[in-house]
Structure 1
């Protein structure tokens, strides 16, 4: 006679082991990672995965690579730091090579998982990846976590997001909308699935295999830090080949705190339009783009600084720039794929394009010295100032008659701080196909050179590459 008492359905679920996958995307950190925290709370066994998608190694329709060695190496150091932090929590990061839509269902079957947690990214290709996983029968729990402000705290529905940034900013400030504090990292990361070793043997990506997929699109070898230092001559405004500027949450945290410890925030508005050097801007963007630092972490340290040393126009401007970053994200939530059309949010005709002119722009051979200097810096270092980004983008669109989408693709390939939201938003803005109330920004290149490089020092620094 069976005298055991049947478990209620909820009790049975509570006692059965839950195996989940957490898929890292652009959130390569443990602290202030709501999606990871939720996965840790739900799982008994948790597989932590990063996918190196081979699509990133292919050429675009504009005949430029999707990524470069600059981005590859910054990502590699970011993942190495994440792996180190996970190891300190008795866990591991599984790096796999291939399309997430193929690899993640296979991994799920191998460990008996049916649910994946990941960051929500409101861009078309990233949305398609999630849709493909769901079509494969997986439950995908996405968590919106890359913005400073929580969209649910805004004083308007996303459909009513103002189409002018100033209106958005003033509304947010008038209603005193503030970001939530950053979350602590998980106290404990669930154990790896028992089959983890077999997964590594079958699917684990090797560093050599990953590296071999990338086209060497820059006039610089990145085989060793000393060779990079030699070729850049110490000129880089973001020397990611040095430990203090390497990828990952460890370097991000150190940089964040040293920036405020040196009180550079009090002069940010005065220096932010600089074009060379490591201190003219916050330089948070590469770590924000990879998710090694969250916007809420940077804001929290900003507020601590203001409480201790006082607020001024410059510290306000850091908040202002973080709001701009949020605005481009919210535009994606409102408009989605419309931001990727040739006409953008307008009814303008198809943009013209000159393939030869575009190639000259990419290769820093336009004949316009200020533009060529900026393009040389970008190609050689993977970074260029915000001021020069606007200048070279305006020149490509308005002076060379090229398609803004080609320029966006080149920035995607080259910039170590490439961020899908800000990249798309800024190129649309310059092209007059986004939400700019002035219908585009055409810069007078000679005036820009006179204002920001009056003695020609920047042009000499990057000439004859």
Structure 2
């Protein structure tokens, strides 16, 4: 009797049924599929600035997303194995136990993520002589479809966007799977709690009443909502960006839906949202071209921010007690909802750079802890440009004060504080 082909799929930021190449290929090429997700302790540790790599708000969003994906796979006859632990220990153990022939995963570009992949790859080869098969699937444009190799990507965002739009096409959306076969007697696993991930009872209580709920169906629902002509909210892109960050929404699907929904009345608004997708691609490809560039204090263009003599105490600004009403309310909204419109993020970022003695990397780490839509390339890519050291020199915000940015974007003060889920 021929041995059945077994493929283990290691999920990270790709928790969806639609437009998911690793899941579709595994189902098509394997007799049995083993879906796995690891809650890696490294992402829930305290960072060198004293904050969490992942705050309780985003951790809860991730838990909901994983739970939703697990239920979706169960509805199709499968399951999702979920563990709290290091993937370089868990993946090889499962590969040996279930006699896997291959292990699939989506390639990442930031240093921490690529180092984890390398650990898994090395451990797999040492334990069972299995290669880790890499897929590319986190961008709107596929790397192989770009009109230039990675090493020749223009540093100018405008030039990058024009050339890609003119000479490349976004691939069609891949079909969702409708069935998945898993081995008999697959391990029974549970989703860990926030307490298991290291959060205190006080931290858990602090996120009560949050607005955005994780999961593929919620992401698709929000996408449809912001495409409606009647939608007039301020949070349109940030209603879907958390779902793209966790891979619940494919940027390819979002692109095609944006274009299909364009009308004379919403065209400008939806074109601005499409531009966000281009920025998202740009940051990711540039991080591939210049490894770790968005995590260097001096960045790609510029020098470090000079220290200031009279600055706020760190505890004051992190707790939202700066004395500036806009800034204080913005910090409160960020910490309580995990979300901010892009313009408010810019004002707050400029304020932290200009009015505190923290490096921009420390301030960016504050965003990393709280933002629901955190992803390494985009979050730190945006911050490097606000700090004036980003890769697209023309787009660096040099010579702009936070008060000028506030007057430009919010001349009438805070008008984005309505419930984001109803915006």
Give me the TM-score of the superposition, normalised by structure 1: 0.81
2: distance between equivalents of 1:420 and 1:30? 23
Paired residue total: 412
2: distance between equivalents of 1:353 and 1:28? 44
C-alpha deviations, 1:435-464, integer Å up to 9, x for none? 2424544543333444444444559999xx
C-alpha deviations, 1:1-27, integer Å up to 9, x for none? xxxxxxxxxxx9xx4212221111111
Q: 1:21 is paired with a residue of what secondary structure?
A: strand
1: distance between equivalents of 2:408 and 2:302? 34
> For the Cα contact (< 8 Å) 1:50–1:93, is it kept in 2?
yes
The structure 1 residue matched to 2:218, chosen from 251, 272, 286, is: 251
Map 1:216-235 to 2 at 5 A: 221-223=206-208, 228=209
Residue number in structure 2 paired with 1:404:
360
The structure 2 residue matched to 1:417, chosen from 364, 373, 380, is: 373
Map 1:234-245 to 2 at 5 A: 239-240=211-212
Q: Compared with structure 1, are the counterparts of its residues 38 and 397 closer, same or farther at alpha carbon in structure 2 (3 Å cutoff)? A: same
Map 1:195-206 to 2 at 5 A: 195-196=185-186, 199-200=187-188, 204-206=189-191
Q: Compared with structure 1, are the counterparts of its residues 425 and 353 closer, same or farther at alpha carbon in structure 2 (3 Å cutoff)? A: farther
The structure 2 residue matched to 1:148, chosen from 140, 144, 161, is: 140
Runs of 5+ consecutive residues of structure 2 not aligned to the other structure: none
Map 1:42-441 to 2 at 5 A: 42-136=29-123, 137=125, 138-175=130-167, 177-189=168-180, 191-196=181-186, 199-200=187-188, 204-208=189-193, 211=196, 213-215=198-200, 221-223=206-208, 228=209, 239-240=211-212, 246-264=213-231, 281=237, 283-306=239-262, 312-346=267-301, 348-349=303-304, 357-438=313-394, 439-441=396-398
Q: Is residue 16 of structure 2 the alignment partner of residue 29 of structure 1?
A: yes
> For the Cα contact (< 8 Å) 1:218–1:380, is it kept in 2?
no
C-alpha deviations, 1:63-114, integer Å up to 9, x for none? 0011112102211221222112111110011110111111111221221225
Q: 1:336 is paired with a residue of what secondary structure?
A: coil
Aligned-residue RMSD, C-alpha: 2.8
1: distance between equivalents of 2:192 and 2:120? 26
Computing the radius of gyration from Cα coordinates, the structure with the larger value is 1
1: distance between equivalents of 2:118 and 2:351? 38
2: distance between equivalents of 1:282 and 1:416? 9
Shift of 1:310: 7.6
